[in-house]
Chains A and B, each alone.
Chain A
Amino acid sequence: MSNSVAEIGNAPAEPSPIATASEARLFWIRFCRHRLAAVGLVVTLLLYLIAIFAEPIAPFDPSHSSARLVYHPPQAIHWLDNGSLRPYVLASRLQRDPVTLAATYVPDPSRKVYLGLWVKGDRYDLWGLFPGDHHLFGPIDQHQPVFLFGADRLGRDMLSRIVYGARASLSIGIVGVTCSLLLGILFGGISGYFGGRIDWAVQRVIEFIISLPTIPIWLALAAALPKRWSPLTTYFCITLIISLIGWTELARVVRGRFLAIRSETYVTAAWLDGCSRPRIIFRHMLPSLTSHIIASVTLAIPLMILAETALSFLGIGLQPPAISWGALLKEAQDVNSLAEAPWLLLPGVAVAITVLALNFFGDGLRDAADPHGH
């Protein structure tokens, strides 16, 4: 404290950090003021980390099936064992009802399966490149099954499947948004920069696409994909289909901002300096749009994730060997299996959390990008 007083006496007063903060820093300060948005950012980052490192994070191989563990219910973690911190789950015994022959799993208090961090388990290839066999957490005895989120109709671990599903579901959001962003910036930029007839034509095309009912059109396009295509091809086609419709909103945002910026003096200055049109568009006009574009993009990702989920849920998106949240939810389509195994809805919870986090995050970005907001 005394130090700063002395400094004020000698040197010119130090300006407040806000006054000298860069544009990016101001943006960040505004963003952090929106608490829910900050939470959304953290959750989003965590989810993408899970998607990137799915192999070591998932406790088991997601396609490892076991006929004797069909629809195994979720097991609760017991944290304390005789007063010390040693998490375990109770192994279960299969019992058959003598009358109805219905199978039920009964926890067996005498058999404890201890859980550990970074334990040896199923072998995997991280990103198909680096072989490994250690998992972030799992049973210490790698031959014991543990179902924290239950098992599906083939006795596969739901938790591992949801973790792997994050990869397809979350990346479709990013890839799809990149495609629609390119289309949106291209057409929105052209429309907003040139104006006149070109603007009129592009706007009619956008209005035409917007006025089509999205889901029936998606259904028609996705139904057109042959079922025997490889999962990767299907994945890219589905992404393309989703982004073909998603770009229009972005194009409208970009166009509106372009029209507003076009008459700014610095654009005129660049023009007088003899800059070419592409240079004016991409070097001078686009950077001032970035914050808006980022916000719109973040808000478009959840829509893409929901679209993929819906298509895969109906069975015309990603096909079974591929795992995505929508494809997992397809298993829950039948009411009878749902009544038997309600944990089949858990991928839906994952979708809801992701979309919620992205929406809060995007909302915060949009507020921070708008200088007139506060």
Chain B
Amino acid sequence: MARFIIRRLLGMIPFILLVSFTVFVLIKLPPGDFVSNYAANLSASGETVNQATLIQMRHEFGLNAPFLVQYWHWIWGVLHGNFGYSFKWQQPVGTLIGERLGLTLILSVSALLFTWAVALPIGVLSAVRRYSIADYLVTFVSFLGLSVPGFLLGLVLMYIGVTVFGENLGGLFSPQYLNAPWSLARVVDLLRHLWIPMVILGIQGSASLIRIMRANLIDQLHQPYVDTARAKGLRETTLLVRYPIRVALNPFVSTLGWVLPNLISGSVILSIVLNLPTAGPMLFDALLAQDQFLAGAFLLLLCALTVIGTLLSDILLALLDPRIRVQ
């Protein structure tokens, strides 16, 4: 097992390096750079642009260097824990993104737990009571969950919040806790706001998981071992929980690999709509402003989170299923 994990961890290193290069290419793809963007914004608002200042800015930010040199400087810094400097915010990237990434992770993981807590029992129910009214209802609702974009659900909730409760449901903190240091009260405040994006993301994720759980369990329910156990007089619930559900759970774990990336991905747009202080809105702004090191750090770390999610699911799966360890 230890060898398996070490081998996978070693395999991640070239992968992350490749990701970092791709990310840097993506960020440098738009024509122009931060300075030309900045100049365009200045002239759009009617201010005069001093060419000498622009040249000096470019020199200061190191934007004149060739692409590969810029990449090398960036990745060398990242390897030493220095994510560079945000041009727009005039702050080191590390201090800007720390809390936002943490909140993104909290949101994604809580949405994942919510997804499982919802999808597991409902999937089991709709498999056991196949073709019942409840099954049809669940099928329909889960397809609906797949069909409605998450940001639309967010908009509907915002609308309900404004018209019915008369307050803005967006954000993750009440105004008084927005810039406050971490305390118990702030955590409680976070939990009071967190459930809205958590439920929206969870509905999206659980829709497909319910389908998978249902299909897996239906495959198991007609196996001879289930009939044997039933013939021996095992109670129906004990039987279900002890055998077929355990087997059906196996593919459930393997979906962790793509559920987590999907949640992180989905949370980006939802965060922009609900104005959450997570990675989404800041990444979006940074991309539009071509604030390259800030955008790069976000993209790189989001990709890394995704890779780690896949690794975790592989390890869990290897723990559950000995056949995978052997391969």
Contacts and interface: CB of A to CB of B under 8 A. Distances in A.
B265 A213 contact: yes
B152 A333 contact: no
Interface in B122-172: 143-144, 146-149, 151-152, 155-156, 158-159, 162-163, 168, 170
Contact of B287 (A214, A223, A332): A223
Interface string A102-141: 0000000000000000000000000000000000000000
Contact of B269 (A208, A314, A355): A314
Given A329-B152, A335-B158, A345-B156, A221 B29 contact: yes
Given A314-B269, A339-B163, A213 B303 contact: yes
Given A208-B18, A333-B273, A223 B159 contact: no
A352 B29 contact: no
Interface in B245-303: 258, 261-262, 264-266, 268-269, 272-273, 283-284, 287-288, 295, 298-299, 302-303
Contacts of A183: none
B15 A221 contact: no
B298 to A, nearest CB: 7
Contact of A339 (B146, B152, B162): B162
Given A345-B155, A356-B144, A220 B287 contact: yes
B152 to A, nearest CB: 4
Given A213-B303, A221-B29, A338 B147 contact: no
Nearest to A332: B155
A352 B148 contact: yes
A18 interface: no
A216 B272 contact: no
A306 interface: yes
A215 B269 contact: yes
A353 B162 CA distance: 26
A224 B269 contact: no
Nearest to B163: A339
Interface residues of A, number: 40
B310 A211 contact: yes
Contacts of A356: 143-144, 147
Determine the main DSSP class of A at the interface with B.
helix
B31 interface: yes
Most A CB within 10 A of own CB, among B19, B27, B269, B288: B269
Contacts of A309: 149
Contacts of A335: 158-159, 162, 168, 170
B144 A212 contact: no
A313 interface: yes
A360 interface: yes
B284 A213 contact: no
Given A310-B149, A338-B158, A356-B143, A213 B163 contact: no
A302 B295 CA distance: 29
B284 A302 contact: no
B30 interface: yes
A348 interface: yes
Contacts of B272: 314
B246 to A, nearest CB: 24
Nearest to A356: B147
B112 to A, nearest CB: 14
B159 A339 contact: yes
A216 B302 contact: yes
Contacts of B149: 306, 309-310, 313, 348, 351-352
A359 interface: yes
A83 interface: no
A338 B162 contact: yes
A212 B284 contact: no
Contacts of A213: 261, 264-265, 268, 302-303, 305-306
Contact of B152 (A215, A221, A348, A353): A348
A212 B304 CA distance: 9
Interface in A189-248: 208, 210-217, 219-221, 223-226
B258 to A, nearest CB: 8
B26 A220 contact: yes
B307 interface: yes
Contact of A310 (B158, B269, B310): B269
Interface in A305-350: 306, 309-310, 313-314, 316, 329, 332-333, 335-336, 338-339, 342, 345, 348
A215 B269 CA distance: 8
B306 A211 contact: yes
B62 to A, nearest CB: 21
Interface string A122-165: 00000000000000000000000000000000000000000000
Contacts of B143: 356, 359-360
Contacts of A316: 288
Interface in A262-313: 302, 306, 309-310, 313
A345 B151 CA distance: 11
Nearest to A225: B30
Contact of A359 (B15, B147, B258): B147
Contacts of A339: 159, 162-163
B195 to A, nearest CB: 19
B97 to A, nearest CB: 13
A359 B170 CA distance: 30
A299 B43 CA distance: 46
Contacts of A313: 149, 151, 269
Contact of B295 (A220, A336, A348, A352): A220
B147 to A, nearest CB: 4
Nearest to A40: B143
A313 B19 CA distance: 27
9 A-B pairs closest in CB distance: A355-B147, A224-B30, A215-B265, A356-B147, A224-B29, A223-B287, A348-B152, A220-B26, A213-B265
Given A220-B26, A339-B162, 20 more contacts: A212-B306, A213-B265, A216-B268, A216-B302, A216-B303, A217-B299, A219-B284, A220-B27, A221-B29, A223-B287, A306-B149, A329-B152, A338-B159, A338-B162, A345-B159, A348-B149, A351-B149, A351-B152, A352-B152, A355-B148
Interface of A: 208, 210-217, 219-221, 223-226, 302, 306, 309-310, 313-314, 316, 329, 332-333, 335-336, 338-339, 342, 345, 348, 351-353, 355-356, 359-360
